[in-house]
Every structure is written in C-alpha cells, then in structure tokens.
Amino acid sequence: MIAPLSEYINRSKQFTCVPAILFDEKNKADYMRFLFAGNEDVILRQYIVNKEIVLLHTMPEQEYNSIQTKSPNNQITHYMAVLIDEYIDKGELVNGNRMIVNPTEDGIDILCFSRENFLLANHFDAATTADAIYFTLYVWKQLRFDQTKDYLYLTKDDEALRLQLQEYISHIN
C-alpha cells in the first residue's frame, strides 16, 4: 500500500533559481558549490512557475533521510517556491516592476518580478531594520527599479521598515 502524499516545507537559506532551459541535473551540485562553499547537504530540486524555473535547495542529509524513512512519498517543498507561486501572477495588477519583501526572524526574503517575468529570489541575513533597508534598497538599485513607478510589497506589517522605506520608494503596500 502506498502512503498518502504529504508535504514538508524546507526552510533552508541555501537556495538558488536556475532557468529550466539551462538546468542539467548532473550539474546541480556545481551550481550549489559555486554559491555555497563547503555545502555537503542533500541537494533537492523542484520546478516552479509553469516549470520554467528550477529551484535548487539544500537539506541536511540526516533530516532528509528521516523524512524519507517516515514517509517515502513525502513531497519536500522549499518555502521560497511557495512565495514565488503566491506572487508571480499578481503582475497584471500593477503597471511596473514589483519587489516583495518578506521579513523573517533572522532576515528578509526578497522576490522581484517585472510585469511578465520572475527576476530574483534571495534571502539576506538582517539583524536590524537598518540591515533590511540596506539590502532592500541595494537590490532595488541593482535591478534599476524606479522609485516613482515601481512597487514594493511587504508580506508582514513591519511599521518601522515600511516607514523608513517610504522615504525612498513611493508605492509601498
């Protein structure tokens, strides 16, 4: 008898996105080694955004084996895939680029989209609000977003972060 499919959410900070057209399964360790030196964890992959993007993420081998032992049919989903799926289709609602900032206990996640495309997903360790503002504005600048036309969305009500970002960016929700 096959066990029912269940889902486990992986919260690893070690992840990256690769266009599916460029992805080669035999090179997934090279992608991760390039970004995360000394990584010896299990490397998992999942296709997202209509299978156009491969999200690679890591999981400690002992944790992975434990999950597989308890439920071999368990689907392991990375939390960033959930965020990307949540926000990718909301592009038709605005006329411009979008940045989604997801404050976490130990930092911020930043997702960026143009009107039609996924641009970026990254996690930044940010111990203070000032750190979160720095990383947010740095990514904004690097992607050449326009502070008068493009949009920034906060996934959680963080008043200090919102108020300070409003000094630099016009459209914050």
Whether residue 102 sits in one domain with residue 74: no
Encoding tokens for residue 131? 């750190």
Asked whether residue 84 is domain-assigned, the answer is no
Whether residue 119 sits in one domain with residue 60: no
CB 109 within 8 A of CB 102: yes
Whether residue 104 sits in one domain with residue 73: no
Q: Write out the residue range of the structural domain in which residue 65 sits.
A: 7-78
Asked whether residue 1 is domain-assigned, the answer is no
At residue 134, the pLDDT reads: 97
Encoding tokens for residue 1? 């008898």
At residue 91, the pLDDT reads: 60
Whether residue 136 sits in one domain with residue 71: no
Q: Which of 12-16, 45-49, 92-96, 146-150 has the lowest mean pLDDT?
A: 92-96
Q: What is the CATH number of the domain that holds 62?
A: 3.30.420.250
Q: Per residue in 159-170, pLDDT tens?
A: 999 999 999 898
pTM value is: 0.88
Rg of the chain over CA atoms, in angstroms?
17
Residues 6+ apart with CB under 8 A from 136: 99, 101, 108, 110, 152, 165
Structural domain count, the chain: 2
Asked whether residue 86 is domain-assigned, the answer is no
10 Å CB burial of residue 136 (0-12, 13-18, 19+) is buried
Encoding tokens for residue 164? 């300070």
Cβ atoms < 10 Å from Cβ of 13: 17
Q: Per residue in 76-124, pLDDT tens?
A: 999 999 999 888 877 666 788 999 999 999 999 999 998 878 999 999 9
Asked whether residue 88 is domain-assigned, the answer is no
Query: With 70 as the cut, is the pLDDT of residue 2 above it?
Result: no
Q: Which of 101, 99, 95 is nearest to 115 (CA)?
A: 95
| 156-171 CB burial, b ≥16 within 10 A, e <16 | eebeebbebbeeebeb
Whether residue 139 sits in one domain with residue 115: yes
Whether residue 98 sits in one domain with residue 47: no
Mark which of 54, 78, 102 sits at the end of a domain.
Answer: 78
